[in-house]
């Protein structure tokens, strides 16, 4: 098989490498040796690449010098689920396996199965897109009542987010509480903070 040059776009972490991609093409018997490049169906190579569980999208083309090049966009994990067989949840809300090449620094999710991924994804998406949440939240636990408990990077208190509903209101309330408590230097005094009720933040002291 003629060598394909790979380019990984968006400066992503290396969840998949060139060796794994080449192996995938060989396993799928994607070769170009006996096929004229002018009639090469590049979609065949793209389809093979897109089957890789770490790849979101690929674009294969012929360079001006006549070589083959593949631009590869990897899938991006935004949470890791601690299960019997651990897995990531990506930016599209789909599950993806862990990588042998790189371990993502993302929030850890516990007591969530694959069937609950769709339920938790709106919260994970908010956490990934919001700089404040991304900085402070490191874990999520789903309790037996279907409520989500958030763990903070620095402070020891848990945040009971409640059900996955009224996300913007709850997040806005939490930010307001956090900033006020930070100003008052009282964040170390709390044992639990509840956002279950849309119009208030309920705090439990140690």
- Summarize pLDDT for 150-173 with one digit per residue, the tens: 999 998 899 999 999 999 999 999
100 and 41 inside one domain: no
Domain with 195, as residue range(s), is 77-205
Please tell me the pTM assigned to this model: 0.83
The CATH number covering residue 132 comes to: 3.40.50.11690
174 and 157 inside one domain: yes
Report the domain count for the chain: 2
DSSP 9-77: -TT---SS-HHHHHHHHHHTT---TTS-GGG--HHHHHHHHHTSTTEEEEEEEE-TTS-EEEEEEE--E
110 and 142 inside one domain: yes
63 and 89 inside one domain: no
Instruction: Quote the CA–CA distance of 120 and 164 in Å, as a whole number.
Output: 7
64 and 153 inside one domain: no
Residue pLDDT, tens place only, 29-47:
555 544 455 445 577 778 8
Distance between alpha carbon 88 and the CA centroid of its chain, in Å? 6
pLDDT in tens, the chain (206 residues): 456 777 888 666 777 777 777 777 766 655 554 445 544 557 777 888 888 888 999 888 888 877 778 888 999 999 999 999 999 999 999 999 998 888 899 999 999 999 999 999 999 999 999 999 999 999 999 999 999 999 999 988 999 999 999 999 999 999 999 999 999 999 999 999 999 886 889 999 98
């Amino acid at each position: 098989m003629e060598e394909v040059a790979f380019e990984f776009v968006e400066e992503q972490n290396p969840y998949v490498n060139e060796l794994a991609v080449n192996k995938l093409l060989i396993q799928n018997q994607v070769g170009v040796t006996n096929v004229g490049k002018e009639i090469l169906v590049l979609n065949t190579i793209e389809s093979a690449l897109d089957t890789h569980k770490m790849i979101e999208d690929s674009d294969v083309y012929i360079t001006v010098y006549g070589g083959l090049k593949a631009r590869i966009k990897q899938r991006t994990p935004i949470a890791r689920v601690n299960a019997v067989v651990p897995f990531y949840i990506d930016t599209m809300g789909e599950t993806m396996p862990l990588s042998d090449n790189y371990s993502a620094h993302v929030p850890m999710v516990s007591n969530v199965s694959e069937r609950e991924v769709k339920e938790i994804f709106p919260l994970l998406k908010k956490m990934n897109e919001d700089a404040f949440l991304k900085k402070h939240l490191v874990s999520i636990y789903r309790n037996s009542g279907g409520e989500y408990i958030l763990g903070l990077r620095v402070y020891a208190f848990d945040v009971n987010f409640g059900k996955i509903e009224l996300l913007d209101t709850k997040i806005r309330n939490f930010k307001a509480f956090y900033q006020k408590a930070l100003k008052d230097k009282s964040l170390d005094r709390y044992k639990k903070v509840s956002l279950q009720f849309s119009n208030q933040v309920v705090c439990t002291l140690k």
